[in-house]
Chains A and B, each alone.
Chain A
Amino acid sequence: MSKIPFLLLVFGMLVLTPAALSSSDIFPYEYKVEELENGLRIVSIPLENPHIISFYTIIRTGSRNEIEPGKSGFAHFFEHMMFKGTKTVPREAYDDYLTRLGAGTNGYTSDDLTVYFTVFAGRENLEEVVRTESDRFINIYYDEEMLKTEAPVIEGEYYASVSSPARRINELLRQTAFEKHSYKHSTLGYLEDIQDLPNQFEYSQLFRKRFYAPDNTILLVVGDFDHDELLAHVRTHYGDWERSNYTLVTPEEPPQTQAKRSHFDWPSATLPRLAIGFHGPAFSDEQIDLAALDLLSEIAFSNRSALYQKLVIEEQKCLSFYASFSDHRDPYLLTFNAVVKKEEDLPYVEEEIFKAIEQVKNELLADDILADVRSNLKYSFGSALGTTDGVAGMLASFLSLTGDPATLNKVFRLYEQVTPQIMLEMAQRFLRKTNSTVVTLSGGKAQ
């Protein structure tokens, strides 16, 4: 079986439009990319999927953009304000429109992006969605009082996960590992900044001007619609949106020169936790660094790895263990996370992780495992694409990184080029002890 039909089959539930794809493409759908004069990019993937359309607005802004002191959590807060309506379609009318549409709708914010989505049935509703969404992004309106009312909701969101030690250790790892870069804080932000949100009306206007503009936005539409019809609607309704021309300069993170540690005493019962982070490379669809580290993490630290089997299954020291080398626009952390069953085993687990890290820096990994990993990535990718939302969600994260849907295919081509030798070199370059941060959390002790 040749690769193209094979891949089309992998994701076949939605595939009804065979595309002129090159043989090395993992992404099986034909997509079109258009750009309006104001810089708004439109990525469209028409599928003959019954009735459903996923309409995504991707703002290439996240907590990474919160570069000024006291502004942590602002991108996420602004996401909330984007549901407040406009002068022509106030909040109540906007809510009613979504309700009549029966749409699944929401937004989410992470380090590098903010995504708004509306999933709805019926292509006859497309124009209304384009019109209403364009009005919302171009003409969003709220006054200071509305902002003050919404601000405590973020505190409520903070409270919703205040009992989660997983969130706390992630925050602590960032705080400890980063010195300058805005990745130092989580997307939710510091509590003191969240509590100051009611006083940030003016800053919110600046934030909007900088980042909620066509040259920082991508529309991604997947599902049952006609491309030309979509484009005509978008031209009509988004054409007058003004560019921002703002260029963000994120603070450069200085190289880490010595190992760091930190600990948090959790106030109530919990299993102890350990997180280790190494400063890694930024995402790239051209440099092989992070692609090689991705494969390395699968081989040496996934649930099929010797280390996982030892710590979780055989010795049963850990409830869970995983590595996460996530994609970010700027250099982020390569992290290792363990939930440990007994506090006294924390040092042992840490030692075992570092031993396994030393091993991948000194010994070439076997080729046959690499084949297994490539197979896993291919089938994982395929199973994520069962719905219009699955396709849009997957592509949105890549679009946020480079703005180009071809990135996804490029990354999978990089995976094909990774060799054991390259993985060894990347491990030696990034997984240095002096580049590491270890944080622990254990429970039952009052602070």
Chain B
Amino acid sequence: MKSQQIPIYFGLILLAFSLALISCAKKSYDTVTSELMPLADSPLVGFRILLKVGSAHDPQGKEGIGALTFRMLVSGGSQNLTFKEITEKFYPMAAGIGMRMDKEMSVFTGTVHQDNLETYYAILKDMLLNPGFREEDFIRLKTNHLNYLEKTLVGNMDEQLGKEILNLAMYADHPYGHTEYGTVESVKNLTLDDIKAYYASIFLQGNVIIGLVGGYPADFPTRILADFSALPEGHTPSLVLPELHMPHGLEFVIAEKQSPATAISMGFPVALSRADDDFFALWIAGSHFGEHRQHLSWLFQKIREERGQNYGDYAYIEHFIQGRGKFPATNYCRQQQYFSIWIRPLANSNRHFALRQAFRELKLLVEEGIPEERFKLTQQYLINYTRLYAQTLGERLGWKMDSRYYGYDDFLAEAQKRIPQITHEQVNTAIKKYLNFENMYVAVITQDAQDFKDALIANTPSSISYANPNMPEEILHEDLIYQEFPLDVRPENVRIAPADAFFQNKGVPADTR
């Protein structure tokens, strides 16, 4: 008897366990979840309410709808309060709600003193869960979106323009392939009803992670979770992205405008993210070659320090947004990543030379790897530098949330453990595996675009002149190599369009030549 009962009980326990698992699975997918970091000593409370929806979820033809919807939440009124009333109420607390959007996630942020927590939260909740969707707010924010696309982005910020055009080129026919602001055409067609419908379709419990950090009361998370449980259950399925689209050779997109300076951004997709073991090895390579705004950057040394050509030159092995100081901002996690090089604006006369320099240095990196001493230096650097990343409440919580996304409990702690274990050989192997210098999307903002195209195709030598008449011999010698460095640019791979033709519609505008 006993011998028969045991399997039955065991089976029942298994069944119950399986049901519990199913229930958990349902819970984590369709109901609101949280990331909590209580710090009893802190008088401040930080919010990061993350939505697993980004610009890549914008429906076809409605590009920009996500960003406009979320701006309606944070820069428009709620059902109970106009935006003016919200501004007045937030003012004495010196508080507000920020919003940042990336391709696959968006985050609503705020920090408030404990004194004001209840008042602040009541407004925040009202703004996110009971949006006012007033016509006047819609007109204001839609106009702002259009102004950004038609005037600011194409006219007033060439470095950002270069990065956005690289994105257009790299992600053609891909959900990542438009700026969060959408296109002039798509935004013009958006109606307030579109916004309301979109909000209803994506503000689902399972899309929301409530991030809380600081000195909040013990019962506070339960209350927030209960409040956000008023949203419909459900979730937006994770995006199934197309295969990475590698460039065939050097594919140029040139945005033409009158300017004394040329801005360059270039890159290609890489099948690697923080979740992969190889990431740590490639991280050392990327840091050596182009650590963001640090003297360590090899490109910075060659282009700026040795030759004084521009303000800085960097490289990245994943999408990078600068946060506080020069550290990476958080909550920009993506399924697909890309490698990129950012050459900051330089005199038009040096554009060809600097481009050749970047390519030659990348070729050397790919073919020869990192010198041993640079490997050791960069490894030591990253161990220390990453200890500075998570300092503020928001940063600590943001890194924690990003850790979860990539399957870690604490990514920065993992980095402290893993980076010292990486070998020189692993770095050089990762470079060969993931980086290349022959296939690259190159975005250029410059004037006299046809001349540049002709020079690129003909591989016209591009000499450089210096104010210093006594430049070191080794630099001048290296210049002779740079100025002749061949780039395999084919005429059909260079597209030129006026800067203000971009972002009118999806993708890269037709070549007008």
Residue numbers of A with Cβ under 8 A of B are: 9-13, 51-52, 83, 91, 95-96, 98-106, 119-122, 145, 148-153, 155-157, 159-160, 162-166, 198, 266-271, 302-304, 309, 313-314, 316, 319, 341, 371-372, 375-380, 382-383, 386-390, 443
Find out whether the CB atom of B155 lies under 8 angstroms from the CB atom of A268: yes
> For residue A151, which residue of chain B has the nearest CB?
B467
User: Closest 5 CB pairs between A and B?
Assistant: A102-B384, A159-B261, A148-B468, A156-B310, A198-B467
Residue numbers of B with Cβ under 8 A of A are: 39, 41-44, 83-84, 87-88, 91-95, 111, 113-114, 116, 136, 139-140, 143-144, 147, 150-152, 154-159, 215, 257-261, 293-296, 301, 304-311, 324-327, 344-347, 377-378, 380-388, 391-393, 466-471, 499-500
> For residue B307, which residue of chain A has the nearest CB?
A149
Find out whether the CB atom of A149 lies under 8 angstroms from the CB atom of B471: yes
Find out whether the CB atom of B391 lies under 8 angstroms from the CB atom of A383: no
Find out whether the CB atom of A269 lies under 8 angstroms from the CB atom of B500: yes
Closest Cβ of chain A to B447, distance in Å, is 11
Closest Cβ of chain B to A28, distance in Å, is 11
Find out whether the CB atom of B155 lies under 8 angstroms from the CB atom of A269: yes
By a CB distance below 8 angstroms, the chain B residues around A96 are 377
Known: A96-B377, A148-B466, A268-B499. A102 touches B94 (CB 8 A): no
In the assembled complex, the Cα of A389 lies from the Cα of B327 at a distance in Å of 13
13 A-B contacts, Cβ less than 8 Å apart?
A12-B41, A13-B39, A52-B391, A100-B380, A102-B382, A121-B388, A153-B310, A268-B257, A375-B93, A378-B94, A383-B94, A383-B113, A390-B392
> For residue A267, which residue of chain B has the nearest CB?
B258
Known: A102-B387, A102-B388, A269-B500. A145 touches B91 (CB 8 A): no
Known: A152-B467, A304-B87, A319-B144. A157 touches B155 (CB 8 A): no
In the assembled complex, the Cα of A371 lies from the Cα of B215 at a distance in Å of 26
In the assembled complex, the Cα of A269 lies from the Cα of B261 at a distance in Å of 17
By a CB distance below 8 angstroms, the chain A residues around B114 are 9
By a CB distance below 8 angstroms, the chain B residues around A390 are 392
By a CB distance below 8 angstroms, the chain B residues around A269 are 150-151, 154-155, 500
By a CB distance below 8 angstroms, the chain B residues around A11 are 43
Closest Cβ of chain A to B303, distance in Å, is 9
Find out whether the CB atom of B44 lies under 8 angstroms from the CB atom of A383: yes
By a CB distance below 8 angstroms, the chain B residues around A104 are 325-327, 385, 388
Find out whether the CB atom of B157 lies under 8 angstroms from the CB atom of A10: no
In the assembled complex, the Cα of A10 lies from the Cα of B111 at a distance in Å of 12
In the assembled complex, the Cα of A276 lies from the Cα of B398 at a distance in Å of 40
In the assembled complex, the Cα of A319 lies from the Cα of B156 at a distance in Å of 15
By a CB distance below 8 angstroms, the chain B residues around A106 are 293, 326
Closest Cβ of chain B to A174, distance in Å, is 20
Find out whether the CB atom of A319 lies under 8 angstroms from the CB atom of B381: no
Closest Cβ of chain B to A318, distance in Å, is 10
In the assembled complex, the Cα of A313 lies from the Cα of B132 at a distance in Å of 15
By a CB distance below 8 angstroms, the chain B residues around A313 are 83-84, 87, 140
Closest Cβ of chain B to A319, distance in Å, is 6
Find out whether the CB atom of A156 lies under 8 angstroms from the CB atom of B308: yes
> For residue A393, which residue of chain B has the nearest CB?
B325
Find out whether the CB atom of B91 lies under 8 angstroms from the CB atom of A376: yes
Find out whether the CB atom of A386 lies under 8 angstroms from the CB atom of B393: yes
By a CB distance below 8 angstroms, the chain A residues around B344 are 156, 159-160
By a CB distance below 8 angstroms, the chain A residues around B471 are 145, 149
By a CB distance below 8 angstroms, the chain A residues around B392 are 386-387, 390
Closest Cβ of chain A to B332, distance in Å, is 20
In the assembled complex, the Cα of A83 lies from the Cα of B503 at a distance in Å of 41
By a CB distance below 8 angstroms, the chain B residues around A100 are 377, 380-381, 384
Closest Cβ of chain B to A388, distance in Å, is 8
Closest Cβ of chain A to B82, distance in Å, is 8
Find out whether the CB atom of B44 lies under 8 angstroms from the CB atom of A13: yes
- The residue that B155 contacts in the complex, of A51, A270, A309, A387, with Cβ under 8 A, is A270
Closest Cβ of chain B to A197, distance in Å, is 8
Closest Cβ of chain A to B444, distance in Å, is 14
Find out whether the CB atom of B147 lies under 8 angstroms from the CB atom of A12: no
Find out whether the CB atom of B296 lies under 8 angstroms from the CB atom of A99: yes
By a CB distance below 8 angstroms, the chain B residues around A267 are 258
> For residue A387, which residue of chain B has the nearest CB?
B391
Closest Cβ of chain A to B100, distance in Å, is 18
By a CB distance below 8 angstroms, the chain B residues around A372 are 91-92
In the assembled complex, the Cα of A166 lies from the Cα of B380 at a distance in Å of 40
Closest Cβ of chain A to B216, distance in Å, is 14
Find out whether the CB atom of A160 lies under 8 angstroms from the CB atom of B91: no
Find out whether the CB atom of B113 lies under 8 angstroms from the CB atom of A382: yes
Closest Cβ of chain A to B285, distance in Å, is 15
Closest Cβ of chain B to A302, distance in Å, is 8
Find out whether the CB atom of B84 lies under 8 angstroms from the CB atom of A102: no
By a CB distance below 8 angstroms, the chain A residues around B305 are 91
By a CB distance below 8 angstroms, the chain B residues around A153 are 304, 308-311
By a CB distance below 8 angstroms, the chain A residues around B466 are 148-149, 152
Closest Cβ of chain B to A266, distance in Å, is 8
